[in-house]
């Protein structure tokens, strides 16, 4: 019967019709707020997915991760070890050191923005402003004024009245320039003693007429031994953590 109805719409005459408003709707909707004013589960999930999508960029540009990773990679190159420890180990250590350093800031963001928003005490826009404030203060503490002025001049903006008036779009690249500069300074300090060892070994081999022997084969054990004796990894990690204190 249904096939005949579809073929000839005139057969529908005389049949009871239900208005669309009274019929059961097959669509779906998303509630922004729950019954108690808190954000619905759908909105919370959507925001979480969005944050996960931009998490790598936030981790690289707005935390201490980049500086720590660059310093550890420079230490590996100074030792003459190209793949030991592997990049996964360096990235993992950098990530957990970043959590260790950034934990107070994460706690402030959670207290000032995340918890009030999930409890329905504030809107998303207000929560975003409250979350940006602790992060802005932390970035300002470790960004050189010269780098901020550099980015302001590059963008052709007016000089801000106070450091707190600097926009995040200007502060984030200035912070990254400062972090890379500090990382290369630490890397230079790390390279110097190992360079001295390479020079001494090369001079000794040339004096003994052993010019065919690669100096790296001889200097590498001495560099590793020196790094172990001075507790190199502990010194590097301590220096990195100390560089983010008192800001």
* CB neighbourhood size of 151 (10 A): 21
Look at residue 22 and tell me if it is in a domain. Answer: no
Query: Tell me, what's the pLDDT at 133?
Result: 84
Torsion-angle region of residue 13: left (phi > 0), alpha (psi -120 to 50) or beta?
Answer: beta
Residue 87 structure tokens: 């990049």
> In the chain, what is the greatest distance between 2 CA atoms, to the nearest angstrom?
112
Of 62, 74, 65, give the one whose Cα is nearest residue 184: 74
Inform me whether the pLDDT recorded for 7 exceeds 60.
no
Look at residue 234 and tell me if it is in a domain. Answer: yes
How far is the CA of 35 from the CAs of 73, 94, 119, 134, in angstroms? Answer: 52, 42, 12, 31
Percent of the chain with pLDDT over 70: 76
Task: Indicate the burial class of 183 (C-beta count within 10 angstroms; 0-12, 13-18, 19 or more).
Answer: buried
Query: Tell me, what's the pLDDT at 69?
Result: 93
Query: Tell me, what's the pLDDT at 1?
Result: 44
Check: CB of residue 12 under 8 Å from CB of residue 25: no
Inform me whether the pLDDT recorded for 123 exceeds 60.
yes
Inform me whether the pLDDT recorded for 6 exceeds 50.
no
Look at residue 21 and tell me if it is in a domain. Answer: no
Percent of the chain with pLDDT over 90: 8
Look at residue 247 and tell me if it is in a domain. Answer: no
What is the tens place of the pLDDT at every residue in 150-189?
Answer: 888 887 777 777 777 778 788 888 899 999 999 999 889 8
Look at residue 44 and tell me if it is in a domain. Answer: yes
Query: Tell me, what's the pLDDT at 23?
Result: 44
Look at residue 123 and tell me if it is in a domain. Answer: yes
Residues spanned by the domain of 61:
40-242
* CB neighbourhood size of 120 (10 A): 13
Is residue 86 classed as helix, strand or coil in its secondary structure? coil
Domains identified in the chain, total number: 1
Query: Tell me, what's the pLDDT at 149?
Result: 84
Look at residue 19 and tell me if it is in a domain. Answer: no
Average pLDDT estimate for 101-114: 84
Check: CB of residue 207 under 8 Å from CB of residue 59: no
Least confident of 13-22, 115-124, 136-145, 204-213: 13-22
Average pLDDT, the chain: 77
Look at residue 89 and tell me if it is in a domain. Answer: yes
pTM for the model stands at: 0.73
Inform me whether the pLDDT recorded for 240 exceeds 80.
yes
Q: Where does the pLDDT of residue 2 fall: very low under 50, low under 70, confident under 90, or very high at 90 and above?
A: very low
Strands (E), the chain: none
């Amino acid at each position: 019967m249904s096939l005949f109805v579809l073929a000839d719409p005139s057969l529908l005459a005389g049949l009871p019709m239900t208005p669309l408003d009274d019929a059961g709707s097959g669509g779906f909707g998303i509630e922004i707020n729950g019954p108690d004013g808190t954000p619905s589960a759908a909105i919370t999930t959507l925001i979480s997915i969005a944050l996960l999508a931009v998490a790598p960029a936030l981790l690289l540009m707005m935390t201490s991760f980049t500086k720590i990773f660059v310093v550890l990679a420079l230490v590996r190159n100074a030792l003459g070890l190209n793949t030991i420890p592997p990049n996964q180990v360096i990235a993992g250590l950098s990530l957990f050191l970043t959590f260790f350093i950034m934990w107070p800031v994460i706690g402030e963001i959670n207290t000032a923005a995340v918890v009030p928003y999930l409890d329905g005490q504030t809107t998303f826009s207000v929560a975003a402003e409250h979350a940006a404030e602790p992060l802005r203060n932390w970035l300002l503490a470790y960004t050189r004024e010269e780098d901020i002025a550099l980015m302001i001049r590059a963008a052709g903006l007016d000089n801000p009245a106070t450091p707190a008036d600097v926009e995040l779009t200007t502060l984030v690249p200035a912070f990254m320039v400062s972090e890379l500069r500090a990382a290369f300074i630490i890397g230079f300090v790390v390279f110097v003693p190992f360079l001295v060892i390479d020079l001494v070994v090369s001079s000794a081999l040339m004096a003994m007429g052993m010019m065919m022997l690669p100096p790296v084969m001889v200097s590498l054990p001495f560099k590793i031994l020196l790094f172990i004796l001075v507790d190199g990894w502990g010194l590097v990690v301590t220096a990195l953590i100390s560089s983010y204190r008192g800001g």
